[in-house]
Structure 1
Amino acid sequence: MRIVDLSSPIDAAGWEPDPLRHRVMSPAEGARHCAAEMHEHFGMRISQDDFPDGEFLNNDFLELSAHTGTHVDAPSHYGSRTVYGSGRPRNIDELPLDWFHRPGVVLDLTRRPAGTVDAEVIGGELARIGYRPNPLDIVLLHTGADQRAGTMEYFTDFVGLDGSATDFLLDLGVRVIGTDAFSLDAPFTHVVDTYRRTGDRSVLWPAHMAGRRREFCQIERLSGLAALPEPFGFTVSALPVKIKGAGAGWTRAVALLPD
Protein backbone atom coordinates (compact mmCIF):
# COMPACT_ATOMS: atom_id res chain seq x y z
CA MET A 1 0.00 0.00 0.00
CA ARG A 2 0.97 3.64 -0.33
CA ILE A 3 0.97 5.88 2.73
CA VAL A 4 -0.02 9.55 2.40
CA ASP A 5 0.84 11.79 5.32
CA LEU A 6 -2.19 13.83 6.42
CA SER A 7 -0.57 15.46 9.45
CA SER A 8 0.65 18.97 10.11
CA PRO A 9 3.83 19.37 12.17
CA ILE A 10 4.15 20.70 15.69
CA ASP A 11 6.37 23.65 14.83
CA ALA A 12 7.51 26.17 17.43
CA ALA A 13 8.56 28.52 14.63
CA GLY A 14 4.97 29.02 13.47
CA TRP A 15 2.31 31.27 15.00
CA GLU A 16 0.03 29.61 17.56
CA PRO A 17 -2.81 31.03 19.69
CA ASP A 18 -1.44 29.16 22.72
CA PRO A 19 2.22 29.16 23.79
CA LEU A 20 4.39 26.51 22.16
CA ARG A 21 7.90 26.02 23.46
CA HIS A 22 10.38 23.47 22.15
CA ARG A 23 13.72 23.13 23.96
CA VAL A 24 16.31 20.82 22.48
CA MET A 25 18.96 19.14 24.61
CA SER A 26 21.91 18.49 22.29
CA PRO A 27 23.94 15.24 22.44
CA ALA A 28 26.76 17.18 24.12
CA GLU A 29 24.34 18.53 26.71
CA GLY A 30 23.00 15.00 27.08
CA ALA A 31 26.46 13.78 28.03
CA ARG A 32 26.85 16.49 30.68
CA HIS A 33 23.34 15.81 31.98
CA CYS A 34 23.97 12.05 32.21
CA ALA A 35 27.27 12.60 34.02
CA ALA A 36 25.55 14.83 36.58
CA GLU A 37 22.69 12.33 37.06
CA MET A 38 25.10 9.40 37.51
CA HIS A 39 26.98 11.32 40.17
CA GLU A 40 23.84 12.48 42.01
CA HIS A 41 21.96 9.18 42.04
CA PHE A 42 24.70 6.54 41.93
CA GLY A 43 27.79 8.31 43.24
CA MET A 44 29.64 7.50 40.02
CA ARG A 45 32.05 10.13 38.77
CA ILE A 46 32.16 10.34 34.98
CA SER A 47 32.66 13.31 32.72
CA GLN A 48 31.54 14.39 29.28
CA ASP A 49 34.91 13.27 27.91
CA ASP A 50 34.12 9.68 28.87
CA PHE A 51 31.46 9.52 26.13
CA PRO A 52 32.43 8.92 22.47
CA ASP A 53 32.93 12.33 20.85
CA GLY A 54 31.81 13.88 24.13
CA GLU A 55 28.19 13.14 23.23
CA PHE A 56 25.42 10.99 24.68
CA LEU A 57 21.68 11.14 23.88
CA ASN A 58 19.75 14.21 22.85
CA ASN A 59 16.26 15.01 24.14
CA ASP A 60 13.35 17.34 23.36
CA PHE A 61 11.20 19.18 25.89
CA LEU A 62 7.89 20.64 24.73
CA GLU A 63 5.29 22.82 26.38
CA LEU A 64 2.13 22.89 24.29
CA SER A 65 -1.62 22.41 24.15
CA ALA A 66 -3.12 19.05 23.26
CA HIS A 67 -4.77 20.95 20.39
CA THR A 68 -1.47 21.90 18.76
CA GLY A 69 -0.77 20.23 15.43
CA THR A 70 -2.94 17.43 14.09
CA HIS A 71 -5.05 16.12 16.95
CA VAL A 72 -8.27 14.32 17.86
CA ASP A 73 -10.91 16.01 19.99
CA ALA A 74 -12.57 13.65 22.46
CA PRO A 75 -16.21 14.01 23.58
CA SER A 76 -15.05 15.45 26.93
CA HIS A 77 -13.67 18.45 25.00
CA TYR A 78 -17.19 19.62 24.24
CA GLY A 79 -18.44 19.89 27.82
CA SER A 80 -18.68 18.10 31.16
CA ARG A 81 -22.16 16.61 30.66
CA THR A 82 -24.03 14.87 27.88
CA VAL A 83 -27.61 13.81 27.19
CA TYR A 84 -26.56 10.39 25.89
CA GLY A 85 -25.13 7.30 27.59
CA SER A 86 -24.03 7.69 31.20
CA GLY A 87 -24.01 11.48 30.99
CA ARG A 88 -20.22 11.62 31.37
CA PRO A 89 -18.37 12.24 28.11
CA ARG A 90 -15.44 9.94 27.38
CA ASN A 91 -11.85 11.13 27.39
CA ILE A 92 -9.35 10.50 24.63
CA ASP A 93 -7.91 7.42 26.36
CA GLU A 94 -11.35 5.80 26.69
CA LEU A 95 -12.44 5.76 23.05
CA PRO A 96 -12.53 2.63 20.86
CA LEU A 97 -9.48 2.51 18.62
CA ASP A 98 -11.44 1.07 15.71
CA TRP A 99 -13.14 4.47 15.29
CA PHE A 100 -9.80 5.80 14.05
CA HIS A 101 -8.81 3.17 11.48
CA ARG A 102 -11.62 3.18 8.97
CA PRO A 103 -12.53 3.77 5.31
CA GLY A 104 -12.32 7.46 4.47
CA VAL A 105 -13.96 9.91 2.12
CA VAL A 106 -12.73 13.43 1.41
CA LEU A 107 -15.10 16.28 0.47
CA ASP A 108 -13.85 19.25 -1.54
CA LEU A 109 -14.81 22.57 0.10
CA THR A 110 -11.89 24.56 -1.29
CA ARG A 111 -14.14 26.90 -3.29
CA ARG A 112 -16.23 27.86 -0.27
CA PRO A 113 -15.64 31.22 1.46
CA ALA A 114 -14.76 31.54 5.13
CA GLY A 115 -17.74 30.76 7.35
CA THR A 116 -19.89 27.64 7.38
CA VAL A 117 -21.49 25.18 5.02
CA ASP A 118 -24.80 23.45 5.70
CA ALA A 119 -26.23 19.98 5.17
CA GLU A 120 -27.30 20.82 1.63
CA VAL A 121 -23.70 21.58 0.63
CA ILE A 122 -22.37 18.39 2.25
CA GLY A 123 -25.11 16.29 0.70
CA GLY A 124 -24.48 17.88 -2.68
CA GLU A 125 -20.76 17.13 -2.54
CA LEU A 126 -21.43 13.50 -1.61
CA ALA A 127 -23.85 13.25 -4.53
CA ARG A 128 -21.29 14.80 -6.89
CA ILE A 129 -18.66 12.16 -6.07
CA GLY A 130 -21.25 9.36 -5.95
CA TYR A 131 -20.59 8.16 -2.43
CA ARG A 132 -22.74 7.60 0.64
CA PRO A 133 -20.75 7.12 3.86
CA ASN A 134 -21.26 3.89 5.72
CA PRO A 135 -21.52 3.87 9.52
CA LEU A 136 -18.12 4.61 11.11
CA ASP A 137 -16.58 5.89 7.87
CA ILE A 138 -14.23 8.82 8.50
CA VAL A 139 -15.24 11.95 6.61
CA LEU A 140 -12.47 14.46 5.82
CA LEU A 141 -13.11 18.08 4.82
CA HIS A 142 -10.62 19.51 2.34
CA THR A 143 -10.89 23.28 2.82
CA GLY A 144 -7.39 24.24 1.69
CA ALA A 145 -6.74 25.99 5.00
CA ASP A 146 -3.57 23.94 5.58
CA GLN A 147 -1.84 26.14 2.99
CA ARG A 148 -1.96 28.95 5.57
CA ALA A 149 -0.66 26.88 8.50
CA GLY A 150 1.85 28.75 10.65
CA THR A 151 0.29 32.15 9.93
CA MET A 152 -2.40 34.13 11.75
CA GLU A 153 -4.68 33.71 8.71
CA TYR A 154 -4.80 29.99 9.41
CA PHE A 155 -6.88 30.77 12.49
CA THR A 156 -9.19 33.34 10.87
CA ASP A 157 -9.78 32.26 7.24
CA PHE A 158 -11.39 28.85 6.76
CA VAL A 159 -14.73 27.13 6.32
CA GLY A 160 -16.42 24.92 8.91
CA LEU A 161 -19.67 23.04 9.45
CA ASP A 162 -22.91 24.45 10.78
CA GLY A 163 -25.22 22.41 13.01
CA SER A 164 -27.24 20.93 10.15
CA ALA A 165 -24.11 19.70 8.33
CA THR A 166 -22.74 18.10 11.48
CA ASP A 167 -26.02 16.32 12.25
CA PHE A 168 -26.31 15.23 8.62
CA LEU A 169 -23.03 13.31 8.86
CA LEU A 170 -23.78 11.93 12.32
CA ASP A 171 -27.18 10.70 11.07
CA LEU A 172 -25.28 8.56 8.56
CA GLY A 173 -23.43 6.84 11.41
CA VAL A 174 -20.18 8.82 11.04
CA ARG A 175 -18.34 9.10 14.35
CA VAL A 176 -15.12 10.83 13.25
CA ILE A 177 -15.05 14.00 11.12
CA GLY A 178 -11.73 15.51 10.11
CA THR A 179 -10.72 18.88 8.68
CA ASP A 180 -7.54 20.52 7.44
CA ALA A 181 -8.69 23.75 9.09
CA PHE A 182 -8.02 24.97 12.62
CA SER A 183 -11.52 24.02 13.74
CA LEU A 184 -14.54 22.06 12.55
CA ASP A 185 -16.57 25.17 13.34
CA ALA A 186 -16.29 28.50 11.56
CA PRO A 187 -13.47 30.90 12.53
CA PHE A 188 -13.86 32.56 15.93
CA THR A 189 -14.41 35.99 14.38
CA HIS A 190 -17.16 34.66 12.10
CA VAL A 191 -18.95 32.98 15.02
CA VAL A 192 -18.83 36.13 17.16
CA ASP A 193 -19.90 38.45 14.33
CA THR A 194 -22.84 36.21 13.41
CA TYR A 195 -24.00 36.00 17.02
CA ARG A 196 -23.77 39.76 17.47
CA ARG A 197 -25.81 40.29 14.33
CA THR A 198 -28.49 37.67 14.97
CA GLY A 199 -28.51 36.99 18.71
CA ASP A 200 -29.01 33.32 17.78
CA ARG A 201 -27.25 31.06 20.28
CA SER A 202 -27.31 28.13 17.85
CA VAL A 203 -24.49 29.76 15.86
CA LEU A 204 -22.10 29.48 18.83
CA TRP A 205 -19.78 26.67 17.76
CA PRO A 206 -22.57 24.26 16.69
CA ALA A 207 -20.21 21.57 15.37
CA HIS A 208 -18.55 21.27 18.78
CA MET A 209 -21.79 21.66 20.74
CA ALA A 210 -23.31 18.77 18.78
CA GLY A 211 -20.92 16.60 20.79
CA ARG A 212 -22.97 17.26 23.90
CA ARG A 213 -25.95 15.59 22.25
CA ARG A 214 -24.20 12.89 20.23
CA GLU A 215 -20.91 11.11 20.80
CA PHE A 216 -18.36 11.77 18.09
CA CYS A 217 -14.79 12.96 17.56
CA GLN A 218 -13.10 15.54 15.37
CA ILE A 219 -9.69 15.40 13.77
CA GLU A 220 -8.50 18.99 13.42
CA ARG A 221 -5.52 20.55 11.66
CA LEU A 222 -4.99 17.85 9.05
CA SER A 223 -2.80 18.56 6.05
CA GLY A 224 -2.13 17.21 2.57
CA LEU A 225 -5.67 16.21 1.65
CA ALA A 226 -5.01 17.49 -1.87
CA ALA A 227 -2.56 14.59 -2.31
CA LEU A 228 -5.36 12.02 -2.19
CA PRO A 229 -5.90 10.88 -5.79
CA GLU A 230 -9.56 9.89 -5.36
CA PRO A 231 -12.29 11.07 -2.95
CA PHE A 232 -12.73 7.56 -1.53
CA GLY A 233 -11.25 4.08 -1.74
CA PHE A 234 -8.64 4.63 0.99
CA THR A 235 -8.32 3.96 4.71
CA VAL A 236 -7.71 6.66 7.30
CA SER A 237 -5.56 5.79 10.30
CA ALA A 238 -5.48 8.46 13.00
CA LEU A 239 -4.92 6.72 16.33
CA PRO A 240 -4.80 9.35 19.10
CA VAL A 241 -2.04 9.52 21.70
CA LYS A 242 -3.26 7.95 24.94
CA ILE A 243 -3.24 10.87 27.37
CA LYS A 244 -4.98 9.83 30.57
CA GLY A 245 -8.09 11.89 31.27
CA ALA A 246 -7.50 14.34 28.40
CA GLY A 247 -10.00 15.99 26.10
CA ALA A 248 -7.72 15.61 23.08
CA GLY A 249 -4.66 13.77 21.86
CA TRP A 250 -2.16 14.30 19.07
CA THR A 251 -2.17 11.92 16.11
CA ARG A 252 0.03 11.14 13.11
CA ALA A 253 -2.87 10.84 10.67
CA VAL A 254 -2.26 9.02 7.40
CA ALA A 255 -4.23 7.67 4.45
CA LEU A 256 -3.52 4.11 3.34
CA LEU A 257 -4.02 3.66 -0.40
CA PRO A 258 -4.03 0.38 -2.34
CA ASP A 259 -0.82 -0.01 -4.29
Structure 2
Amino acid sequence: MRIIDLSSPIDAAAYEPDPVGHEVLSPRQGALHMSAEMREHFGIDFDPDVLPDGEFLSLDRLSLTSHTGTHVDAPSHYGSRAAYGTPRHIDAMPLDWFHRPGLLLDIARDEPGVVGAADLEKEFARIGRVPQPRDIVLLRTGSSAWAGTPRYFTDFVGLDGSAVNLLLDAGVRVIGTDAFSLDAPFTNILDRWRSTGDRSVLWPAHFAGREREYCQVERLANLEALPPYGFRVVCFPVKVAGAGAGWTRAVALLDEATPPATGERSPR
Protein backbone atom coordinates (compact mmCIF):
# COMPACT_ATOMS: atom_id res chain seq x y z
CA MET A 1 0.00 0.00 0.00
CA ARG A 2 1.33 3.40 -1.01
CA ILE A 3 0.41 6.49 1.01
CA ILE A 4 0.27 9.79 -0.86
CA ASP A 5 0.10 12.98 1.17
CA LEU A 6 -2.67 15.26 -0.09
CA SER A 7 -2.27 17.96 2.54
CA SER A 8 -0.91 21.48 2.40
CA PRO A 9 1.04 22.70 5.43
CA ILE A 10 0.08 25.24 8.04
CA ASP A 11 3.01 27.60 7.60
CA ALA A 12 3.36 30.94 9.36
CA ALA A 13 5.96 31.98 6.78
CA ALA A 14 3.52 31.59 3.87
CA TYR A 15 1.06 34.22 2.67
CA GLU A 16 -2.40 33.98 4.23
CA PRO A 17 -5.26 36.52 4.18
CA ASP A 18 -5.66 35.68 7.87
CA PRO A 19 -2.01 35.42 8.96
CA VAL A 20 -0.90 32.46 11.06
CA GLY A 21 0.75 33.20 14.37
CA HIS A 22 3.30 30.60 15.43
CA GLU A 23 5.26 31.06 18.65
CA VAL A 24 7.84 28.41 19.46
CA LEU A 25 9.06 27.87 23.00
CA SER A 26 12.44 26.15 22.91
CA PRO A 27 13.18 23.23 25.26
CA ARG A 28 14.94 25.71 27.59
CA GLN A 29 11.97 28.06 27.50
CA GLY A 30 9.74 25.03 28.06
CA ALA A 31 11.67 24.24 31.24
CA LEU A 32 11.21 27.77 32.56
CA HIS A 33 7.53 27.67 31.61
CA MET A 34 7.02 24.34 33.37
CA SER A 35 8.75 25.63 36.51
CA ALA A 36 6.52 28.71 36.58
CA GLU A 37 3.39 26.60 36.04
CA MET A 38 4.34 24.22 38.86
CA ARG A 39 4.75 27.18 41.19
CA GLU A 40 1.47 28.85 40.15
CA HIS A 41 -0.82 25.83 40.07
CA PHE A 42 0.69 23.47 42.65
CA GLY A 43 2.81 25.67 44.92
CA ILE A 44 5.90 23.63 44.08
CA ASP A 45 9.30 25.24 43.60
CA PHE A 46 11.25 23.39 40.94
CA ASP A 47 14.66 24.46 39.69
CA PRO A 48 14.74 23.79 35.91
CA ASP A 49 18.56 23.67 35.99
CA VAL A 50 18.40 20.18 37.52
CA LEU A 51 17.04 18.88 34.19
CA PRO A 52 19.49 17.47 31.60
CA ASP A 53 21.00 20.51 29.82
CA GLY A 54 18.50 22.63 31.78
CA GLU A 55 15.87 21.75 29.16
CA PHE A 56 12.38 20.28 29.34
CA LEU A 57 10.05 20.10 26.30
CA SER A 58 9.43 22.47 23.43
CA LEU A 59 5.98 24.02 23.02
CA ASP A 60 4.20 25.57 20.04
CA ARG A 61 1.48 28.19 20.34
CA LEU A 62 -0.54 28.84 17.19
CA SER A 63 -3.17 31.39 16.22
CA LEU A 64 -5.08 30.55 13.05
CA THR A 65 -8.54 29.94 11.61
CA SER A 66 -10.03 26.49 11.18
CA HIS A 67 -9.88 27.13 7.42
CA THR A 68 -6.10 27.47 7.29
CA GLY A 69 -4.29 24.64 5.55
CA THR A 70 -6.10 21.51 4.41
CA HIS A 71 -9.42 21.34 6.25
CA VAL A 72 -12.93 19.90 6.14
CA ASP A 73 -15.92 22.26 6.09
CA ALA A 74 -18.86 21.11 8.19
CA PRO A 75 -22.51 21.79 7.26
CA SER A 76 -22.70 24.42 10.01
CA HIS A 77 -20.15 26.47 8.03
CA TYR A 78 -22.71 27.08 5.28
CA GLY A 79 -25.38 28.71 7.45
CA SER A 80 -27.27 28.56 10.74
CA ARG A 81 -30.32 26.87 9.22
CA ALA A 82 -30.79 24.14 6.63
CA ALA A 83 -33.67 22.53 4.77
CA TYR A 84 -32.80 19.18 6.35
CA GLY A 85 -32.67 20.45 9.96
CA THR A 86 -30.00 21.92 12.19
CA PRO A 87 -26.61 21.82 10.42
CA ARG A 88 -24.05 19.66 12.20
CA HIS A 89 -20.69 20.88 13.44
CA ILE A 90 -17.47 19.14 12.47
CA ASP A 91 -17.25 17.09 15.68
CA ALA A 92 -20.66 15.54 14.97
CA MET A 93 -19.96 14.31 11.44
CA PRO A 94 -19.86 10.52 10.86
CA LEU A 95 -16.30 9.31 10.45
CA ASP A 96 -17.20 6.83 7.73
CA TRP A 97 -17.76 9.77 5.38
CA PHE A 98 -14.02 10.46 5.47
CA HIS A 99 -12.52 7.06 4.59
CA ARG A 100 -13.97 6.14 1.22
CA PRO A 101 -13.02 5.29 -2.37
CA GLY A 102 -11.84 8.34 -4.29
CA LEU A 103 -12.48 9.69 -7.77
CA LEU A 104 -10.24 12.39 -9.26
CA LEU A 105 -11.64 14.87 -11.78
CA ASP A 106 -9.41 17.27 -13.70
CA ILE A 107 -11.19 20.63 -13.99
CA ALA A 108 -8.10 22.80 -14.55
CA ARG A 109 -8.71 25.85 -16.71
CA ASP A 110 -6.49 28.66 -17.95
CA GLU A 111 -8.75 31.34 -16.46
CA PRO A 112 -10.45 31.62 -13.05
CA GLY A 113 -14.16 30.92 -12.96
CA VAL A 114 -16.63 28.07 -12.62
CA VAL A 115 -17.37 24.75 -14.23
CA GLY A 116 -20.83 23.27 -14.42
CA ALA A 117 -22.55 19.90 -14.57
CA ALA A 118 -21.88 19.51 -18.30
CA ASP A 119 -18.14 19.92 -17.68
CA LEU A 120 -18.18 17.20 -15.02
CA GLU A 121 -20.11 14.87 -17.29
CA LYS A 122 -17.44 15.31 -19.97
CA GLU A 123 -14.81 14.43 -17.38
CA PHE A 124 -16.77 11.31 -16.35
CA ALA A 125 -16.77 10.25 -20.01
CA ARG A 126 -13.04 10.95 -20.37
CA ILE A 127 -12.01 8.78 -17.42
CA GLY A 128 -14.73 6.16 -18.03
CA ARG A 129 -16.10 6.30 -14.50
CA VAL A 130 -18.93 8.03 -12.61
CA PRO A 131 -19.11 8.61 -8.84
CA GLN A 132 -20.66 5.89 -6.73
CA PRO A 133 -22.65 6.67 -3.55
CA ARG A 134 -20.35 7.93 -0.77
CA ASP A 135 -17.30 8.18 -3.02
CA ILE A 136 -15.06 11.13 -2.18
CA VAL A 137 -14.70 13.22 -5.33
CA LEU A 138 -11.48 15.24 -5.62
CA LEU A 139 -11.14 18.16 -8.02
CA ARG A 140 -7.76 19.00 -9.50
CA THR A 141 -7.72 22.68 -10.48
CA GLY A 142 -3.94 23.03 -10.57
CA SER A 143 -4.06 26.06 -8.27
CA SER A 144 -2.05 24.29 -5.55
CA ALA A 145 1.00 25.35 -7.59
CA TRP A 146 0.44 28.86 -6.19
CA ALA A 147 0.03 27.83 -2.54
CA GLY A 148 1.76 30.20 -0.15
CA THR A 149 1.34 33.20 -2.48
CA PRO A 150 -1.45 35.77 -2.98
CA ARG A 151 -2.25 34.22 -6.39
CA TYR A 152 -3.49 31.04 -4.68
CA PHE A 153 -6.47 32.98 -3.32
CA THR A 154 -7.48 34.63 -6.60
CA ASP A 155 -6.58 32.28 -9.48
CA PHE A 156 -8.57 29.05 -9.38
CA VAL A 157 -11.67 27.28 -10.65
CA GLY A 158 -14.76 26.38 -8.62
CA LEU A 159 -18.06 24.59 -9.11
CA ASP A 160 -21.41 26.14 -9.86
CA GLY A 161 -24.62 24.92 -8.26
CA SER A 162 -25.44 22.51 -11.09
CA ALA A 163 -22.08 20.75 -10.70
CA VAL A 164 -22.43 20.38 -6.93
CA ASN A 165 -25.96 19.03 -7.26
CA LEU A 166 -24.85 16.55 -9.93
CA LEU A 167 -22.36 15.07 -7.45
CA LEU A 168 -24.82 15.09 -4.56
CA ASP A 169 -27.44 13.42 -6.76
CA ALA A 170 -24.91 10.60 -7.28
CA GLY A 171 -24.71 10.07 -3.52
CA VAL A 172 -21.42 11.92 -2.95
CA ARG A 173 -21.19 13.45 0.52
CA VAL A 174 -17.59 14.74 0.50
CA ILE A 175 -16.11 16.88 -2.30
CA GLY A 176 -12.49 17.97 -2.17
CA THR A 177 -10.49 20.55 -4.10
CA ASP A 178 -6.87 21.67 -4.30
CA ALA A 179 -8.12 25.26 -4.54
CA PHE A 180 -8.72 27.80 -1.78
CA SER A 181 -12.48 27.31 -2.16
CA LEU A 182 -14.96 25.00 -3.82
CA ASP A 183 -16.59 28.17 -5.15
CA ALA A 184 -14.97 30.48 -7.68
CA PRO A 185 -12.69 33.31 -6.48
CA PHE A 186 -14.47 36.14 -4.65
CA THR A 187 -13.70 38.70 -7.34
CA ASN A 188 -15.00 36.42 -10.10
CA ILE A 189 -18.24 35.76 -8.21
CA LEU A 190 -18.85 39.43 -7.50
CA ASP A 191 -18.05 40.47 -11.07
CA ARG A 192 -20.61 38.00 -12.41
CA TRP A 193 -23.21 39.10 -9.86
CA ARG A 194 -22.75 42.80 -10.68
CA SER A 195 -23.00 42.16 -14.41
CA THR A 196 -26.06 39.88 -14.24
CA GLY A 197 -27.87 40.71 -11.00
CA ASP A 198 -28.30 36.94 -10.61
CA ARG A 199 -27.95 36.05 -6.93
CA SER A 200 -27.60 32.35 -7.75
CA VAL A 201 -23.97 33.01 -8.71
CA LEU A 202 -23.17 34.04 -5.11
CA TRP A 203 -21.21 31.15 -3.56
CA PRO A 204 -23.51 28.41 -4.92
CA ALA A 205 -21.21 25.54 -3.91
CA HIS A 206 -21.27 26.55 -0.25
CA PHE A 207 -24.92 27.55 -0.19
CA ALA A 208 -25.87 24.17 -1.67
CA GLY A 209 -25.01 22.88 1.80
CA ARG A 210 -28.05 24.70 3.18
CA GLU A 211 -30.29 22.48 1.07
CA ARG A 212 -28.40 19.17 1.23
CA GLU A 213 -25.95 17.94 3.85
CA TYR A 214 -22.41 17.47 2.63
CA CYS A 215 -18.81 18.40 3.45
CA GLN A 216 -16.05 20.07 1.49
CA VAL A 217 -12.33 19.42 1.80
CA GLU A 218 -10.48 22.53 0.72
CA ARG A 219 -6.82 23.35 0.11
CA LEU A 220 -5.69 19.85 -0.82
CA ALA A 221 -2.33 19.31 -2.52
CA ASN A 222 -0.45 16.85 -4.72
CA LEU A 223 -3.55 15.69 -6.60
CA GLU A 224 -1.43 15.34 -9.74
CA ALA A 225 0.10 12.24 -8.10
CA LEU A 226 -3.23 10.40 -8.24
CA PRO A 227 -4.80 8.28 -10.96
CA PRO A 228 -8.45 9.01 -11.82
CA TYR A 229 -9.63 6.14 -9.58
CA GLY A 230 -8.38 3.04 -7.78
CA PHE A 231 -7.49 4.73 -4.50
CA ARG A 232 -9.05 5.50 -1.14
CA VAL A 233 -9.13 8.89 0.52
CA VAL A 234 -8.62 9.29 4.27
CA CYS A 235 -9.41 12.79 5.57
CA PHE A 236 -10.67 12.54 9.16
CA PRO A 237 -11.26 16.06 10.51
CA VAL A 238 -9.81 17.17 13.83
CA LYS A 239 -12.56 16.99 16.46
CA VAL A 240 -13.04 20.67 17.30
CA ALA A 241 -16.17 20.96 19.46
CA GLY A 242 -18.83 23.22 17.96
CA ALA A 243 -16.67 24.24 14.99
CA GLY A 244 -17.64 24.82 11.38
CA ALA A 245 -14.45 23.17 10.14
CA GLY A 246 -11.57 21.01 11.27
CA TRP A 247 -8.06 20.55 9.94
CA THR A 248 -7.15 17.23 8.33
CA ARG A 249 -3.99 15.40 7.27
CA ALA A 250 -5.58 14.09 4.09
CA VAL A 251 -3.94 11.13 2.34
CA ALA A 252 -4.68 8.73 -0.48
CA LEU A 253 -4.11 5.00 -0.14
CA LEU A 254 -3.14 3.16 -3.33
CA ASP A 255 -2.51 -0.48 -3.91
CA GLU A 256 1.07 -1.07 -5.05
CA ALA A 257 -0.28 -2.49 -8.31
CA THR A 258 -2.08 0.77 -9.20
CA PRO A 259 -0.22 2.51 -12.05
CA PRO A 260 1.22 5.91 -11.06
CA ALA A 261 -0.38 9.08 -12.39
CA THR A 262 1.32 10.84 -15.29
CA GLY A 263 0.76 14.29 -13.78
CA GLU A 264 -0.37 15.58 -17.20
CA ARG A 265 -3.47 17.71 -17.59
CA SER A 266 -6.32 16.28 -19.59
CA PRO A 267 -6.81 17.74 -23.08
CA ARG A 268 -9.44 20.48 -23.48
Q: How would you bin the TM-score normalised by the shorter chain?
A: over 0.9
Whether the 8 Å CA contact 1:181–1:220 is kept in 2: the answer is yes
The normalised TM-score by structure 2 is 0.94
Aligned to 2:259: none
CA distance in 2 between counterparts of 1:42 and 1:73 reads 40
Determine helix, strand or coil for the equivalent of 2:230: strand
CA distance in 2 between counterparts of 1:44 and 1:119 reads 65
Give how far 1:175 is off.
Answer: 0.4
Matched, 1:16 2:43: no
Give how far 1:36 is off.
Answer: 1.6
The normalised TM-score by structure 1 is 0.97
Determine helix, strand or coil for the equivalent of 1:181: coil
CA distance in 2 between counterparts of 1:234 and 1:6 reads 12
Give how far 1:112 is off.
Answer: 4.6
Matched, 1:42 2:42: yes
5+ residue gaps, structure 2, are 257-268
CA distance in 2 between counterparts of 1:168 and 1:8 reads 27
Aligned to 1:245: 242
Give how far 1:40 is off.
Answer: 2.6
AA of the residue aligned to 1:223: A
Deviation per CA, 1:51-110: give whole Å up to 9, x if none: 1011100111111100000000000100011112xx211110111100000000111122
Deviation per CA, 1:122-171: give whole Å up to 9, x if none: 11001100001110000000011111011111000000000111111111
Aligned to 1:231: 228
Give how far 1:35 is off.
Answer: 1.5
Give runs of aligned pairs for residues 131-210 of structure 1, distance below 5 A: 131-210=129-208
Q: Which is worse superposed, 130-139 or 46-55?
A: 46-55
Matched, 1:26 2:26: yes
Determine helix, strand or coil for the equivalent of 1:4: strand
Whether the 8 Å CA contact 2:102–2:229 is kept in 1: the answer is yes
Deviation per CA, 1:157-195: give whole Å up to 9, x if none: 000000111111111000000000000000000001000
| RMSD after superposition | 0.9
Give how far 1:37 is off.
Answer: 1.8
Whether the 8 Å CA contact 2:109–2:157 is kept in 1: the answer is no
5+ residue gaps, structure 1, are none
CA distance in 2 between counterparts of 1:8 and 1:137 reads 22
CA distance in 2 between counterparts of 1:42 and 1:218 reads 45
Whether the 8 Å CA contact 1:112–1:159 is kept in 2: the answer is no
Give how far 1:199 is off.
Answer: 0.4
